[in-house]
C-alpha cells in the first residue's frame, strides 16, 4: 500500500517537472515571437516620411529585408555560440585536463560563427543603402 502511494507521488512529481519544462519552453517561444513581431512592427512604425516621399515608395522592402537578415543572423549566431560554449564547458567540467585542448577549437569555432553574423551585417548594410 505504501509502495503504491510512493509510486503515485513519484509519478506526480515527474508530471510537474515535465509541465515546468513545457512552461519554460512556452515562455521562450512567446518571448521570441514577441521580439520578431516587435522588429517587424518597428520598421513600419518608425518610417521616415521624408525618405518615403523622396523615394516614391510607400514601403522600403530593402530596409525590411536588412532588418530581417540582422534579426535572424544575430539570433542564430548567439544561440549557436551559447550551445558551443555550453558543450565546451561541460566537457571541461567532466575532464579538467582537457581544458587546454578544448579552448583553441572553441575560440576558433566562436570566431567563425561571429564572422557569419558580420557577413550578414555587411549584406544588410548593402541592402539598406539601396
Please give the angle made by the CA atoms of 120, 121 and 127, to the nearest 5 degrees: 90
CB-CB neighbours of 24 under 10 Å? 10
**pLDDT tens-digit series, residues 79-118:** 999 999 999 999 999 999 999 999 999 999 999 999 988 9
**pLDDT tens-digit series, residues 3-40:** 555 665 666 566 556 556 666 776 777 777 666 666 66
C-alpha 53/C-alpha 65 separation (Å) is: 20
Q: Among residues of the chain, what percentage have pLDDT more than 70?
A: 58
- Burial class, 60, CB count within 10 angstroms (exposed 0-12 / middle 13-18 / buried 19+): buried
C-alpha 83/C-alpha 110 separation (Å) is: 10
Query: 67 with 39: CB under 8 angstroms?
Result: yes
**Which residues lie below 8 Å from residue 103, measured CB to CB, with a gap of 6+?**
88
Query: 71 with 36: CB under 8 angstroms?
Result: yes
C-alpha 35/C-alpha 27 separation (Å) is: 12
Amino acid at each position: 500500500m505504501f509502495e503504491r502511494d510512493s509510486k503515485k507521488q513519484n509519478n506526480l512529481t515527474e508530471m510537474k517537472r515535465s509541465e515546468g519544462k513545457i512552461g519554460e519552453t512556452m515562455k521562450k517561444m512567446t518571448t521570441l515571437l514577441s521580439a520578431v513581431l516587435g522588429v517587424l512592427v518597428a520598421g513600419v512604425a518608425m518610417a521616415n516620411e521624408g525618405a518615403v516621399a523622396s523615394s516614391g515608395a510607400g514601403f522600403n522592402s530593402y530596409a525590411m529585408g536588412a532588418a530581417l537578415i540582422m534579426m535572424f543572423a544575430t539570433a542564430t549566431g548567439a544561440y549557436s555560440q551559447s550551445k558551443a560554449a555550453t558543450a565546451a564547458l561541460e566537457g571541461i567540467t567532466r575532464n579538467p585536463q582537457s581544458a587546454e585542448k578544448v579552448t583553441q577549437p572553441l575560440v576558433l569555432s566562436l570566431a567563425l560563427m561571429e564572422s557569419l553574423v558580420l557577413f550578414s551585417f555587411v549584406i544588410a548594410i548593402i541592402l539598406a543603402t539601396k
